[in-house]
Amino acid sequence: MPERLQKLLILDRDGTLNRSRDDYVASPDEWEALPGALEAVARLNQGGWHVVLATNQSGIGRGLFDMASLNAIHAKMHRQLAAVGGRVDAVFFCPHAPEDGCDCRKPAPGLFHQIAARFGIPLANLPAAGNAVRHVQAAAAAGCPAHLLLTGKSEHLRGRLGQGAEADLAVLAPELPPGTQVHDDLDAFADWLLAQEAAETPTLPVAQGATP
């Protein structure tokens, strides 16, 4: 039976949680968390959100590293998250090279469908945030609310784009799906999501004569 959660969101890994590298993150020593990213996950967890990752790891299919190395990288990630009070519930990854023609390599939406099936949550209720255009494209193709973070592969857009400025976004990054929301980084996305929730939570009236 799939595990059922009320609040789940999907994040990219490289360039979102940790610094991305042109030559792949192939060992634990090469995995370096972005400033504030792990703490942002902890704040989301404290707000009741469960976090999972959807990440392309074609270095496996290209023969650049193996599953033991990937597991060691994620063990380091989990330790550093735990040290700040954060948690990632699961990591969904595509190990295939581009020429393999799989349906799980983003921008294909296969990983997102796997996540929805595993946790039993409709895709429309799964916000997805990442720095790579292909992550946002995969999210939108799956029907998830898509959020672009101006870190990693999209850091060059920072300073050229206003928060949520869809008209500017359409010019600067026309390959992004319509309706993509923009945030400076994972910390800003966490701020936005938690503020949205707070705004939607009804305030209980104070009984007459009671102290507020």
User: Cα separation of 135 and 161, whole Å?
Assistant: 19
Catalytic site positions: 12, 14
Which helix (H) or strand (E) element contains residue 167?
Answer: helix 166-172
Helices vs strands, H then E, count in the chain: 7, 6
User: Cα separation of 47 and 119, whole Å?
Assistant: 19
User: Cα separation of 29 and 27, whole Å?
Assistant: 5
146: amino acid identity, one letter: A
Q: Which two structure tokens, joined as six digits, stand for 117?
A: 């099936």
Report the 10 Å Cβ neighbour count for 105.
22
| HSE-up of residue 84 (Cα within 13 Å, Cβ side) | 18
Report the 10 Å Cβ neighbour count for 198.
9
